[in-house]
A and B are shown apart, each in its own frame.
Chain A
Amino acid sequence: MITMKNVRKSYDNGADALRGINLEVEDGEFVFIVGPSGSGKSTLTKILTGEIGCTDGEVMVNGFDLDRMRPSKLYKLRRTLGIIFQDFRLIENKTVYQNIEFAMRVLGVKPKKIKPRIKYVLELVGLQDKINCMPNELSGGEQQRVAIARALANNPRLIIADEPTGNIDPELSRELMALLVEINKKGTTILVVTHEEELVNEFTNRVVVINHGEVVRDGTGGYYGNV
């Protein structure tokens, strides 16, 4: 569950990335966050994951009050999240397998359960053949799918995805989005940031539109709403 109240974020260079965001996401929801480039979408996801702090306002994620959390305790929040980053963030000197393994080891998953699970999530994103590749041997789209597989590996309560299909062709994008919808049906809350109009229009989920750091529309009915 996500609650944001009047969240503001100004970067050190003076850029006002967020100007009073109010957002509620219930458990089990599937929400698209859309908006033009530079509107503050990535900033919003970074605040939700605790990667950056907000300048003003209140943020609650999965029961954790982010303002009050010490950095050394943030891992507790992150263990309930599956984060898909716009820039993938794979560890470059670990193979695909080791990258996902690391994320599972962190949570203390039993070694016996790690391997089958990794095979399973890689199959979901269609990368079972690349299991022993290094990230720099993969295309951008493939790296992105590894990042998705890693986010799925621990069955998180909430998945926060920043442009998860940014580098993937439309066909595969639709499949991956459908996969996220599937996962959502099993109870995982999902927040997907994207600027791909067509993709959003294919689904009937809630859409939150952000522009210049403010929520300008919140409802169902695709990118432009049912106007």
Chain B
Amino acid sequence: MFSRTCYFIKEAIANIFNHGIMSFVTTFTIICCLIIMGSCCLLALNVQQIITELEAENQMVAFIDEAMSDEEARGLEQQLLAVENVAQVRFVTREEAMVNFLDRYEDNSLFEDVDSSVFRNRYLIYLDDIALMEQTQNDLAGIYGVAKINALLKVANGFVTLRNILGIVALAIFVVLFLISIILMNSTMKAATFNRRTEISIMRMVGARNSFIRWPFVLEGMLIGLFAALCAFLLQWGGYNLLAENISGALSFITVIPFENMLIPVLIAFGVIGIIEGVFGSLGAVKRYLRV
């Protein structure tokens, strides 16, 4: 069993070098596919990240009943925090609210004799998931002492829709790219095995069962896929960081996710996809010759 496995591995490695040009072409194909798919995913992740950051700005304002004293109003904090989906709350006093209000107008003289007592105490409320904004708004409204809640539901829904569409589009592009790369791999491997059909027919004539012939091909595809994945990974890493530097230099308000935060997932994804492409590519290609 062990000797047989060694034999298959030896065969696979010998095949890679015996058919050097084809191995190179397949490796190159997989690298290209992986980098295109990888770039697509990384772009989607970054856009998602930007949206999430923008979402976080989208807070609600809960006005507190003016009948409540400042003390009582402050006391509501724990109750508000206890509501599901509330991430954070910040108490804003009447005085603060008035200052903020006046700050918004150049010409304060109009409001010179405005008194802070016309302003309500309020809380700024930040959410975990803005998709549930309406539900949370209702929950908060039920708390005794909360008079009114301002929420930009339309904006929130806009974000949610944007996020969903983006997810679907990214997934669709990914699936299409994956299929294209499998087809590409298959035709590359077909060309590669065309030269090997005599070899395969001889193997069959000396009594090799199909699985015996297939194994070295599978291993070959695996090795090529793995190697290509590694190359693609390094190229993607370098390319991403180069691009990230330029972007954060030019558009400083965008924070790019550091590649180093995603090393392992990207490496695993590349490895798995590379191996799948390599193996299925070679399997699809030998299949035709295994019938004689």
Task: Tell me which of B198, B199, B202, B208 contacts A75 (CB under 8 A).
Answer: B208
Q: How far is the CB of B4 from chain A (nearest CB, A)?
A: 7
Interface: A19 (CB within 8 A): no
> How many angstroms between the C-alpha atoms of A107 and B212 in the bound complex?
10
8 Å CB contacts to A: which residues of B199-242?
199, 201-210, 212
Interface: A83 (CB within 8 A): yes
> How many angstroms between the C-alpha atoms of A92 and B209 in the bound complex?
20
8 Å CB contacts to B: which residues of A136-161?
150, 154
Interface: A14 (CB within 8 A): no
Nearest residue, chain B, Cβ from A104 = B206
Cross-chain contact A51 with B292 (CB below 8 angstroms): yes
Interface: B117 (CB within 8 A): no
Interface: A91 (CB within 8 A): yes
Interface: B104 (CB within 8 A): no
Interface: B266 (CB within 8 A): no
Interface: A71 (CB within 8 A): yes
Cross-chain contact B4 with A91 (CB below 8 angstroms): no
Cross-chain contact B202 with A89 (CB below 8 angstroms): yes
CB contact under 8 A between A71 and B292, given known A49-B205, A102-B206: yes
Interface: A13 (CB within 8 A): no
Cross-chain contact A78 with B206 (CB below 8 angstroms): yes
8 Å CB contacts to A: which residues of B110-135?
none
Residues of B in contact (CB 8 Å), total 21
Secondary structure of the B side of the interface?
helix
Interface: B290 (CB within 8 A): yes
Q: How far is the CB of A213 from chain B (nearest CB, A)?
A: 23
**Number of contacts between A and B (CB, 8 Å)?**
57
> How many angstroms between the C-alpha atoms of A21 and B11 in the bound complex?
41
User: A170-188, CB under 8 A of B: which get 1 and which 0?
Assistant: 0000000000000000000
Given the complex, which residues of B lie within 8 Å of A79, measured CB to CB? Answer: 207
Cross-chain contact A103 with B207 (CB below 8 angstroms): yes
Interface: B261 (CB within 8 A): no
Task: Point out residues on B near A: beta carbons under 8 Å.
Answer: 3-4, 7, 14, 18, 198-199, 201-210, 212, 290-292
Selected A-B contacts with CB under 8 Å, 18 pairs: A72-B209, A72-B291, A74-B204, A75-B207, A85-B205, A89-B201, A89-B202, A91-B202, A92-B198, A102-B203, A102-B208, A103-B207, A105-B212, A106-B203, A106-B206, A106-B209, A150-B206, A154-B207
Q: Known pairs A72-B290, A89-B205; list 11 more (Cβ under 8 Å).
A: A71-B291, A72-B209, A90-B202, A91-B199, A91-B202, A92-B198, A103-B206, A103-B207, A106-B208, A106-B212, A111-B3
